[in-house]
Structure 1
Amino acid sequence: MSTFGRRETTADRRVCQLRTDGGQNRAETDSTRQKTETDGVTIAFEGPETVRISGNLEDVLLAVCWWDESGLVGTITEPVGSVDGDRTVTASSAFSDVEFAYGPIVTGVEGFRDPGPSVPGTGDVSAVNPTLEAYIEAVRERHAAIDLEEPFPNTD
């Protein structure tokens, strides 16, 4: 079962396009691709809070959003360690000290090949969760009685 009370299917597992420009080009990722491997690294989102990373990375940043008990959104982007081969990361395990009342949802992943500072936006590879909006909507629908803040308000 997934966090949202429904059985996870193969369709819930998506692999999205990786950016390999070191954070310089903010082009949109192509979430319609089923599998993308870039320079030997694959990032597969396997449900709302789980991501599988294959390849070799010195450090990985995991970006997560959630809501607290009053409906306010929280976000965090923190290092979760290296990858040597295959690694599955779950947000609630990686951030076990954070209390997630509603969620969490992995919003993106960024990987760094070389040792040094892991600064968001400067990674060698990155991927945005291609089903992020659907997971956000599922949490908000499931907890409709609670006024959950919009996690990424439109700033147009």
Structure 2
Amino acid sequence: MNVQYWIFDTTDVAQMAFNLTKGLRTRNPANNRVIFDSRYKYMRIQGMVKANIGTSPASFPVAQGTGYGIGVSNSGAGVLVTGGPVGGGPYWLNNDLAYVAGFKTLNGSVQLRMIQLALRITDGPSNPPPTGQFGSFQAVGLVLDLRNY
């Protein structure tokens, strides 16, 4: 599998790595922090994908056909706990499933699908632990223009 990635960082971190004298820098007058530096490429956001992750993949079209990627800003991590009493009790069985969103770019669209990270099966006597959905199953990704980097 061939995966390309880009890392965007704040300009103060970038300045620590590169002490150059050329280029335009704009500073915040309140704290003298660099808020724009022409020496570094900036993140070009073209849009946003925001959706609830489900068991089947969802596809979202993007305006440009090539040269785009996804910057994940919320992976939609969550845990789904299902189960309850077995055979009328007093024993119980629970399935704890941990999920996160996975983004993929393909043929002019962004695909979003649920990725199962872990499965834990627990059982025991007496009262079962609570069941339900814990965390957010909503994922947010930024559609980025990655051409000419």
**TM-score, normalised relative to structure 2:** 0.22
Which has a greater percent of strand?
Answer: 2
User: Which of the pair has the greater relative contact order for Cα pairs under 8 Å at 6+ separation?
Assistant: 2
